[in-house]
Chain A
């Protein structure tokens, strides 16, 4: 079992819709959760981080964390074609050497 799992996609949504990206992790001790966006040929860009159970909103983005179920999700409201990218989930916590990344979900927003 991978430490951080994401569906590789592609996840295709129409412009203006809500895109929902999911990530599960195996280490119950994980404490820090991050979402990065990576455009093709570019480096990862931090979108959001969340440490506590519940929702955290930043503009069109909402991160949701459920530690009991060991999943974290990212919602993108009013999706735009410019949101088309690969979204990477990353997890960290006590005893970990470093931030562990999932393999990413490719999102396609259709105009």
Chain B
């Protein structure tokens, strides 16, 4: 079974621009979660989508948004990029039983904002 696929793997953007990241979950997984990982803050939860609905949301500003499509694929968008948005963005999928399902991570998208 194919794993979680994230595209692109690397991105370089300029401050003020916006970016869209894509995630395809493991087949059969209906939940997709997004995390930001930085050396200083570790893994920080952004949001989770289940059946096209945002089920949970972390403490990030509104510049961070996402959506999920009917085939469970998900996208994350960051608008008005700031230097501090430079990070590894990780998508993870799970079967969806809230709280109990293990997350399976993709390879991540490394975003650099200059």
State yes or no: do A and B come from one complex.
Answer: yes
- In the complex, chain B residues whose CB is within 8 Å of the CB of A32: 99-100
- In the complex, chain A residues whose CB is within 8 Å of the CB of B88: 43
Q: Does B43 contact A (CB under 8 A)?
A: yes
- In Å, the complex CA distance between A90 and B102 comes to 10
Q: Does A44 contact B (CB under 8 A)?
A: yes
Interface of A: prevailing SS = loop
- In the complex, chain B residues whose CB is within 8 Å of the CB of A93: 99
- In Å, the complex CA distance between A44 and B4 comes to 12
Q: Does A100 contact B (CB under 8 A)?
A: yes
Q: Does B48 contact A (CB under 8 A)?
A: yes
**Considering residues B43, B57, B104, B107, which has the most beta carbons from chain A within 10 angstroms of its beta carbon?**
B43
- Closest Cβ neighbor of B106 among chain A residues: A43
CB within 8 Å of A: which residues of B? 33, 35, 42-43, 45, 48, 56-58, 88, 90, 99-100, 102-108
CB within 8 Å of B: which residues of A? 31-32, 34, 36, 42-46, 49, 51, 88, 90, 92-94, 96-104
